[in-house]
Amino acid sequence: MSATLEPKSKFNGDAASNASKRKQTNGFGSPRQQAIAAVTSYQNNTPTLDFSEVSASELYGSNVFSKKVMKARLPKVVYKSLIATIESGKKLDPAVADVVASAMKDWAISKGATHYAHVFYPLTGATAEKHDSFITPDGEGNAITEFSGSQLIQGEPDGSSFPSGGIRATFEARGYTIWDVTSPAYILENPNGTTLCIPTAFVSWTGEALDKKTPVLRSMQALNTQAQRILKLFGHTDGAFVASTAGPEQEYFLVDRNFYFNRPDLLFAGRTLFGAKPPKGQQFEDHYFGAIPERVLAFMLEVDRELFKLGIPVKTRHNEVAPGQYEIAPLFESANLATDHQQLIMITLKRIAEKYGMACLTHEKPFAGVNGSGKHVNWSMGSSSQGNLLYPGDTPHDNAQFLVFCAAVIRAVHIYQGLLRSVVATAGNDHRLGANEAPPAIISIFLGDLLTDVFEQIKKGGAKSSLAKSTLTVGVDVLPPLPKDAGDRNRTSPFAFTGNRFEFRAVGANQSIAGPLVAMNTIVAESLDFCATQLEAATKGDASKLHGAVQTLLTEIINKHSAIIFNGNGYSEEWHAEAGTRGLLNRKTTADALPALGEKAVEELFSKYSVLSPRELSSRYHIYQEQYCLTVEVEAKLTLSMAKTSIFPACMRYLNELASTYSNLRAFDTQFDAEPLEEVASLVKSLQGAVSKLEEALHEAEDKELETKVKHLCDAVLPAMLTVRQCADELEGIVADDLWPLPKYQEMLFIK
Ligand code: ADP
Ligand code: MG
């Protein structure tokens, strides 16, 4: 024995020095092991919050320059004039600005503010702000605080570093921020002081929209104008502003920051570009609505507290389907306000997560193999006098009005399905749409059996002499009472009627909801325009003809557009086939979906309702293409660098260890099975091959025109990245655990 062991000792020495080298380079284990140790010994040291000291209702809105604050601090006439703008969309009287600015400043200073910031929403989907101090030197060595009406109304950030898609050349970098009265100013707290934040629109010096907010406001106006025509036909002439309403449900993941900082992919791309499927994923279905872990609940309580202060009506919080996934949803608000609030929710989630030693991931697909994150945008329209216009109601008369609004949405979604698909098209959302847990890329409407039945009956009732007509003529006889709550749910539909609103589920978790809302508002405005024009022509002011005209209109719409209605399983293969025969679009990727923004019909739609000029639209198309390219290129570069600088070296170390151990063993047992060694070696070779392919594909992307580049990144670069990942993920399954450099899925998803 000892004789056979003799030669081995040489290698033994190597193995020992390997092990000690490993120790040396890693200190107390690899960065990954250190991360695990740090996570498992986490102790919360944030000060505890106590809602019994200041109740949630007292906190609510305490940092908002709300109507209540305005009423208390502004002269009556000024207050009234502002409210008229906020509530009824009346033009803002610039004469009130000085008074409002001064009151706002005093209020903000009483809350500890030293600066004010115009907050705006550039086309990157992010939130931007430029801070200015209230302090102005008085020329005698002292300083006074100042905030004028013109400073409130207009700011001029250096816009040159925000994408304009060609609207504004750098030499004319001027971009203006303009006070949006309809979204209240608020105080943003920091441990070292507070800032008065003023939501603004961001436009070029020629008045073209450079932001996400401007078109939201314009589209709301368009929707109001057309909705008023319908309401007038039904005898409602009070003119109360019809606003679109939005309630976005935000899904997100939380991972410990120690893992986060050990994953360059999470840090820089927001999603894991590598990672083998864990033995335990979400298959137990034990996470959804499960008990919320203590650290996470503490985080949620603080998030809620901060959002309450900002007057954001957060209502629900719960675990989502995937491990480590959660959801937060506010009550719905007017679309513009909901959009601003949604941005604040995302910022707050990220900021507070840090305090609790975690990172909040809002990417649509941070982890392959478990559910992705969406942002269901619940959408409706309503006014102070009419309430929710998509509430079915229970009298036939209300039903008729409801059915017109509902049919208008159905028609709009059918005609503009390509546009709706394009406004949820991002590199991140591509991993979600069409995968097996998110809505498919085919846009369809889930109406629910009851409402579908109502429309089916209307369809039949269109036949003039049929018996059906006498029983079904809308608003005259006994239209079947509509369900108050459609009740039945369908999780696979990208666009579902849920009792009194539509839920646009294809929206991605990381997106601003502005784009989807602009699209919704505008296509429904167009559809209401169509309906109103037809009804006005048929009735010619004679109200007694209305119900007949409505019946004709509904029958026509449902005959033409019911192809968009689908109540079945959106994931099934049969649906994909059937959608094809129905002529519905199935645009699987951003590369397929974005070009809708370049279509003539879409251009005409947006210019007809003064929501986006052709130039504004094409600038957006350009920017979204660019963003797609930037995202995929960054991901590809990260894939390369992680494969080369962390995965490959780990595999080589392991290979070296295997090789020396193997030759040791062979010294006393020539039959020793070399299979593991060969397996690792062959996978490493595949990894190298895949890396070179990806390098080539990425290189080829360089000089391409934007449009072909998008296609190339989608068709060549992404698949090449995936091949690299597949090799690496296989290696993860066989390389010694203590050598593996990256935190693994099970660690990130389950260790809290
Ligand atoms: P679920 O998860 O069952 O879809 P949630 O309660 O999580 O439902 O979210 C429902 C969202 O729909 C909330 O934000 C809610 O305020 C919103 N909502 C309700 N009514 C309307 C409406 N009329 N317009 C827009 N959103 C609405
Ligand atoms: Mg939900």
Average pLDDT for 272-281: 87
Each residue of 135-144: pLDDT tens digit? 989 889 999 9
Cα–Cα distance between 178 and 737 in angstroms, integer?
56
The share of the chain scoring above pLDDT 90, in percent, equals 66
Q: How far is the CA of 249 from the centre of ligand 2 (A)?
A: 6
Confidence band, pLDDT 50/70/90 cuts, at residue 168? low
Average pLDDT for 331-341: 97
247 lines ligand 1 (CB under 6 A): yes
Question: Do residues 493 and 439 make contact, with C-beta atoms less than 8 angstroms apart?
Answer: yes
Average pLDDT value over all residues in the chain: 88
Q: How far is the CA of 378 from the centre of ligand 1 (A)?
A: 5
Average pLDDT for 635-641: 98
Q: Which atom of ligand 1 is nearest to the CA of 498?
A: 4
pLDDT: is 330 or 294 the higher one?
330
pLDDT: is 458 or 397 the higher one?
458
Which of 314, 378, 489 to mutate for ligand 1's pocket (most ligand atoms within 8 Å of CB)? 378
Q: How far is the CA of 390 from the centre of ligand 1 (A)?
A: 13
Q: What pLDDT is attached to residue 463?
A: 33
Strand bridging mode 495-497 / 502-504: antiparallel
Each residue of 199-219: pLDDT tens digit? 999 998 888 999 999 999 999
Question: Do residues 605 and 613 make contact, with C-beta atoms less than 8 angstroms apart?
Answer: no
Helix pair 449-461, 396-415: axis angle to 10 deg: 100
Catalogue the E-assigned strands of 372-441.
375-383, 387-388
Q: Is 24 helix (H, G, I), strand (E, B) or coil?
A: helix
Instruction: Say if residue 477's pLDDT is above 60.
Output: no
Instruction: Say if residue 565's pLDDT is above 90.
Output: yes
Q: Which atom of ligand 1 is nearest to the CA of 329?
A: 14
For ligand 1, atom 17: residue with the closest CA: 247
For ligand 1, atom 23: residue with the closest CA: 380
Q: What pLDDT is attached to residue 110?
A: 96
Q: What pLDDT is attached to residue 356?
A: 94
246 lines ligand 1 (CB under 6 A): yes
Cα–Cα distance between 163 and 160 in angstroms, integer?
8
- The torsion region of residue 626 among left (phi > 0), alpha (psi -120 to 50) and beta comes to alpha
Cα–Cα distance between 577 and 574 in angstroms, integer?
5
Question: Do residues 213 and 201 make contact, with C-beta atoms less than 8 angstroms apart?
Answer: yes
Instruction: Say if residue 466's pLDDT is above 50.
Output: no
329 lines ligand 1 (CB under 6 A): yes
Q: Is 119 helix (H, G, I), strand (E, B) or coil?
A: strand
Each residue of 113-128: pLDDT tens digit? 999 999 999 998 889 9
380 lines ligand 1 (CB under 6 A): yes
Cα 428–742–702 angle (5° rounding)? Answer: 45
- The torsion region of residue 180 among left (phi > 0), alpha (psi -120 to 50) and beta comes to beta
316 lines ligand 1 (CB under 6 A): yes
Q: What pLDDT is attached to residue 437?
A: 62
Q: What pLDDT is attached to residue 23?
A: 47
487 lines ligand 1 (CB under 6 A): no
Q: How far is the CA of 344 from the centre of ligand 1 (A)?
A: 18
Cα–Cα distance between 639 and 694 in angstroms, integer?
9
For ligand 1, atom 1: residue with the closest CA: 249
Q: What pLDDT is attached to residue 555?
A: 92
331 lines ligand 1 (CB under 6 A): yes
Q: pTM of the prediction?
A: 0.91
Average pLDDT for 580-603: 96
Q: What pLDDT is attached to residue 321?
A: 74
Rounded to a whole number, what is the largest CA-CA distance in the chain?
A: 112
Q: What pLDDT is attached to residue 214?
A: 96
